[in-house]
């Protein structure tokens, strides 16, 4: 797509020309809204692939994990909620695994992309769709799954300059290209104390959108009961440096070129999510590496069973297992955190519990 035909780029250029630079968060919000509504970006033929698309075992283990919690809590009914459910693959596999134990919660998808809703409706025909978390049901406990959801939410970047910290904004350079630069408004108070004396050009990132959603869902869990499973790439404690990245055709791209034509993500601050959950008197488990979590849940015997049933696919099955588990692939980069309502059981796959 040429710059002249990129309508989002033209709109953003006009906005910047009329009102001045926009924040990185605003740029990312507009770019991802456009990107996810254009088409299905997932799979080998798309721009990136997620764990549920790599192997059915991933969704099955999530379903069994949720079933175990449901059985130990001994609650008659729950709602299954997935945030940004992709093609619906994870939900379909998880719900199928749950049904083997006579557990059939109603399914609720929080999704704004019409292109992806169409795929999700095919995968899980009974699912009910929501534009935002506010319309989720409030009558029963919630079993919430957020797989690669928080990383796509807008990230706010603050940058250290010789005059102090400023918000990082997106402007247009002399070549009419979008380019990040420090804004004018002082932002020192928004930076954690331990980072305020850092060198020039240091970047601190945070996601107010992620915090708002986590705080609201924490309130739901506190009142209704239930559990939330967060699966994403990120860091266990905050640090410095830009983690904003773009992916196109399974390759890294330039985030500030061709807005709306590639996926923009940033690493998730698991500590921030955990602290918000603790403010709601919830228990926090993890984060732990995806690989160790899947091994604890039994990915190896399940892979062996599938390989025995389909010997011609054995190599494919074990390669998928390695991609999900091994440290040099997704095993350590992706992390798993569970957040439980007061008095709910400690979930499997975690050694440490906070709160």
Q: What is the secondary structure of 261-286 as a DSSP string?
A: SSEEE--EEHHHHHHHHHHTT-EEEE
Give the pLDDT score at 30: 95
- Per-residue pLDDT for 4 more than 80? no
Measure the N-to-C terminal CA separation of the chain; round to a whole number of Å. 50
Give the pLDDT score at 75: 87
Q: How confident is the model at residue 1 (pLDDT cuts 50, 70, 90)?
A: very low
- Per-residue pLDDT for 2 more than 50? no
- Per-residue pLDDT for 26 more than 90? yes
Q: How confident is the model at residue 47 (pLDDT cuts 50, 70, 90)?
A: low
Give the pLDDT score at 46: 60
Give the count of beta carbons closer than 10 Å to the beta carbon of residue 166: 19
CATH classification for the domain delimited by 41-152+208-236+264-295+322-354, as one of 3.40.50.300, 3.40.228.10, 3.30.2020.30, 3.40.50.150:
3.40.50.150
180-202, pLDDT tens digit by residue?
999 999 999 999 999 999 888 99
Give the pLDDT score at 242: 92
Q: Which two tokens stand for residue 14?
A: 């006009």
- Per-residue pLDDT for 96 more than 70? yes
Give the pLDDT score at 39: 67
Closest CA to 263 of 39, 17, 13: 39
Give the pLDDT score at 355: 54
198-232, pLDDT tens digit by residue?
888 999 999 999 999 999 999 999 999 999 999 99
Give the pLDDT score at 40: 66
**Mean pLDDT score of the chain:** 92
Mean pLDDT of 111-118: 91
Closest CA to 181 of 16, 29, 6, 10: 16
Higher model confidence: residue 351 or residue 322? 322
Give the pLDDT score at 3: 46
8: helix, coil or strand? helix
Q: Report the range out of 128-137, 165-174, 245-254 with the highest average pLDDT.
A: 128-137
298-344, pLDDT tens digit by residue?
999 999 999 999 999 999 999 999 999 999 999 899 999 999 999 99
Query: In the chain, where are the structural domains located?
Result: 41-152+208-236+264-295+322-354
Phi, psi angles (nearest 5°) of residue 19: -120, -5
Q: Are 24 and 264 in contact (CB under 8 A)?
A: no
Give the separation between CA 191 and CA 187, rounded to whole angstroms: 7
Q: Calculate the alpha carbon distances from 314 to 38, 85, 126, 238, 350 in Å.
A: 36, 28, 32, 40, 29
Q: How confident is the model at residue 352 (pLDDT cuts 50, 70, 90)?
A: low
Give the separation between CA 45 and CA 326, rounded to whole angstroms: 24
Give the pLDDT score at 262: 86
pTM of the model: 0.92
- Per-residue pLDDT for 76 more than 90? no
């Amino acid at each position: 797509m040429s710059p002249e035909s990129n309508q989002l780029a033209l709109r953003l250029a006009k906005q910047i020309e009329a009102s001045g630079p926009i924040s990185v968060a605003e740029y990312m919000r507009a770019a991802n809204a456009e990107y996810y509504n254009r088409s299905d970006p997932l799979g080998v033929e798309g721009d990136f692939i997620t764990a549920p698309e790599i192997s059915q075992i991933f969704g099955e283990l999530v379903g069994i994990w949720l079933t175990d919690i449901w059985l130990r809590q001994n609650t008659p009914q729950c709602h299954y909620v997935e945030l940004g459910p992709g093609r619906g693959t994870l939900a379909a596999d998880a719900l199928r695994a749950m049904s083997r134990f006579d557990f059939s919660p109603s399914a609720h998808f929080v999704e704004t992309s019409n292109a992806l809703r169409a795929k999700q409706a095919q995968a899980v025909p009974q699912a009910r769709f929501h534009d935002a978390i506010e319309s989720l049901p409030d009558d029963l406990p919630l079993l919430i799954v957020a797989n690669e959801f928080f990383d796509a939410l807008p990230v706010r970047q603050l940058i250290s300059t010789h005059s102090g910290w400023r918000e990082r904004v997106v402007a247009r350079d002399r070549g009419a290209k979008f380019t990040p630069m420090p804004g004018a408004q002082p932002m020192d108070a928004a930076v954690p104390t331990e980072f305020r004396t850092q060198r020039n050009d240091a970047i601190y990132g945070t996601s107010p959108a992620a915090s708002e959603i986590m705080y609201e869902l924490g309130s739901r869990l506190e009142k209704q009961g239930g559990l939330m499973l967060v699966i994403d790439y990120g860091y266990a404690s905050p640090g410095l440096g830009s983690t904003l990245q773009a992916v196109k055709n399974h390759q890294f791209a330039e985030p500030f070129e061709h807005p709306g034509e590639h996926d923009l993500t940033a690493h998730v601050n698991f500590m921030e999510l955990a602290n918000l959950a603790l403010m709601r008197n919830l228990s926090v488990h993890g984060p732990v590496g995806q690989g160790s979590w899947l091994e604890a849940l039994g990915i190896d015997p399940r892979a062996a069973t599938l390989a025995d049933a389909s010997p011609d696919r054995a190599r494919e099955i074990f390669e998928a297992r390695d991609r999900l588990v091994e440290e040099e692939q997704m095993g350590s980069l992706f992390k798993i955190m569970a957040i439980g309502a007061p008095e709910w059981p400690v979930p499997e796959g975690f050694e440490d519990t906070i709160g």
